[in-house]
């Protein structure tokens, strides 16, 4: 399955009287954007602002981040929400590189996060480096939390699709081609190379802990194969409110670095055979079932080794370890990617579960580390939630507007797919 990502490099984004792109400048008709994405009668106010890297701006609480992408034939992007399922993952997809849609407003749950566009906090979030179109959306008082989340989720997807459509008449700056082999091809080519797979764990622990695959809540699925190209076309959408540091926003699913790295080294160091998505469950019985199916599927594919990443911490650590143990017991080598909650001094147990089989682990940082975020000139959203969001505590928000929080509160700071600068070296 071949997918071409046609990238348009963006230097600046501005609001104007009409939609256009020229000389690196993306111009968005703000009023037309807001009119086209206002999709629910419970939205009481909706505003759009633009922030560039380096500005003294804080965005919080952040619900989701989405990269503007659209199929050149207008079908297939975000299947199950906007596009047609049959079209995702093949053909041509136009991308406004360096930009993102960020959704904010009154907090939905308590685990939304912070994006600082400058200062020390900017070093910990990848989204300080994107030009962000920030949507501040408020809903009717009394709207249930899961409905509030859905409203913001759809808002972000619609805005990303609307903005990307501006690029349909623009000549792309470069094209990245991904020609993913079938499982049969991957198994039969370069027979001297090990067969490697990717176990892609999705947050699915219940209400406000949801991830969507083709529009279906992942807790309703069993482990299954998915084309990596479909992931790039928005087949996986974030719908959860787990801790900001390791929540895989929709943007990170679209730009999954594990998939991209496995593709780049395919046929050189190994044969990249398959991507298996699986859920993170609440009950032990459900965890046992899904992990057993993952191990059996990997065994049936003849895999020699897999990479596994989780999303979230605590309860999902058991899913991660069960997957690891059952795969290793079948002779399939595992490498785990996870962050740590090791206490503020780093001396506590890093994961809530462990096993001797988990002997190859890549860390994406300690989410309990405390950081001081200086006051910004402007806050988009509401900084009053600083004491209440995950990673915050009583007194986090200072009188001068500065914030003292754990890295847990910073969006994407310890991303468990490795879209972060943090790691550690074992000795």
Q: How confident is the model at residue 326 (pLDDT cuts 50, 70, 90)?
A: very high
Query: What is the pLDDT averaged over residues 266-276?
Result: 94
Residue 76: predicted pLDDT: 74
Residue 245 lies in a domain: yes
Q: Are strands 43-51 and 20-22 parallel, antiparallel or unpaired?
A: unpaired
The closest alpha carbon to 149, from 90, 107, 97, 186, belongs to: 107
Per-residue pLDDT reduced to its tens digit, 363-408: 999 999 999 999 999 999 999 999 999 999 999 999 999 999 999 9
Beta strands in 374-426 (DSSP E): 378-381, 403-406
Would you call 101 helix, strand, or coil by DSSP?
A: strand
User: Cα separation of 362 and 201, whole Å?
Assistant: 15
**Which residues carry out catalysis?**
241
Residue 179 lies in a domain: yes
Residue 257 above 70 pLDDT? yes
Residues 186, 274 contacting (CB under 8 angstroms): yes
Residue 200 above 90 pLDDT? yes
Instruction: Please state, rounded to an integer, the average pLDDT across all residues of the chain.
Output: 94
Per-residue pLDDT reduced to its tens digit, 231-256: 999 999 999 878 999 999 999 999 99
Residue 418 lies in a domain: no
Residue 416 lies in a domain: no
Residue 424 lies in a domain: no
| Strand-pair partners of 137 | 46
Number of domains in the chain: 1
User: Cα separation of 103 and 100, whole Å?
Assistant: 10
Residue 427: predicted pLDDT: 53
Residue 249 lies in a domain: yes
Residue 73: predicted pLDDT: 87
Residue 425 lies in a domain: no
Residue 425: predicted pLDDT: 67
Residue 390, domain extent: 2-409
Residue 427 lies in a domain: no
Per-residue pLDDT reduced to its tens digit, 88-131: 889 999 999 999 999 999 989 888 999 999 999 999 999 999 99
Per-residue pLDDT reduced to its tens digit, 3-48: 999 999 999 999 999 999 999 999 999 999 999 999 999 999 999 9
Residue 312 above 70 pLDDT? yes
Residue found by looking up tokens 């190859």 in the block: 360
Q: Model's pTM, two decimal places? A: 0.95
Residue 99: predicted pLDDT: 98
Residues 364, 418 contacting (CB under 8 angstroms): yes
Q: How confident is the model at residue 426 (pLDDT cuts 50, 70, 90)?
A: low
Largest CA distance in the chain: 64
């Amino acid at each position: 399955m071949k997918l071409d990502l046609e990238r348009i490099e963006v230097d600046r984004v501005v609001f104007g009287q009409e939609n256009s792109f020229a000389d690196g400048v993306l111009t968005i008709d703000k009023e037309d954007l807001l009119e086209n994405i206002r999709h629910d009668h419970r939205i009481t106010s909706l505003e759009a602002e633009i922030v560039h890297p380096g500005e003294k701006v804080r965005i919080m609480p952040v619900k989701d981040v989405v990269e503007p992408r659209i199929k050149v034939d207008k079908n297939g992007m975000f299947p199950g929400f906007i596009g047609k399922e049959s079209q995702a993952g093949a053909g041509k997809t136009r991308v406004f590189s360096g930009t993102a849609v960020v959704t904010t407003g009154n907090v939905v749950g308590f685990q939304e996060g912070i994006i600082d566009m400058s200062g020390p906090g900017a070093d910990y979030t990848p989204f300080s480096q994107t030009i962000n179109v920030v949507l501040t959306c408020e809903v009717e008082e009394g709207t249930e939390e899961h409905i509030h989340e859905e409203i913001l989720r759809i808002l972000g997807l619609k805005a990303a699709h609307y903005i990307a459509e501006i690029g349909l008449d623009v000549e792309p700056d470069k094209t990245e081609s991904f020609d993913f082999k079938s499982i049969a091809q991957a198994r039969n080519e370069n027979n001297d190379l090990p067969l490697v797979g990717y176990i892609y764990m999705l947050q699915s622990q219940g209400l406000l802990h949801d991830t969507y695959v083709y529009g279906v809540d992942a807790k309703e699925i069993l482990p299954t194969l998915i084309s990596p190209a479909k992931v790039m076309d928005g087949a996986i959408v974030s719908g959860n409110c787990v801790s900001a540091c390791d929540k895989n926003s929709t943007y990170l699913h679209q730009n999954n670095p594990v998939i991209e790295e496995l593709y780049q080294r395919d046929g050189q160091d190994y044969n990249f055979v398959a991507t298996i998505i699986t859920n993170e469950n609440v009950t032990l019985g459900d965890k046992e079932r899904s992990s057993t199916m993952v191990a059996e599927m990997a065994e049936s594919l003849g895999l020699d080794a897999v990479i596994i990443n989780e999303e979230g911490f605590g309860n999902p650590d058991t899913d991660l370890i069960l997957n690891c143990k059952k795969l290793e017991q079948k002779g399939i080598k595992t490498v785990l990617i996870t962050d740590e909650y090791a206490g503020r001094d780093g001396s506590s147990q890093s994961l809530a579960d462990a096993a001797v089989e988990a002997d190859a682990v890549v860390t994406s940082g300690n989410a309990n580390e405390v950081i001081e975020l200086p006051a910004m000139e402007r806050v988009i959203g509401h900084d009053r939630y600083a004491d209440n969001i995950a990673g915050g505590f009583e007194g986090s928000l200072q009188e001068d507007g500065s914030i003292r929080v754990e890295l847990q509160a910073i969006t994407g700071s310890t991303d468990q797919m490795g879209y972060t600068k943090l790691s550690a070296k074992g000795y």
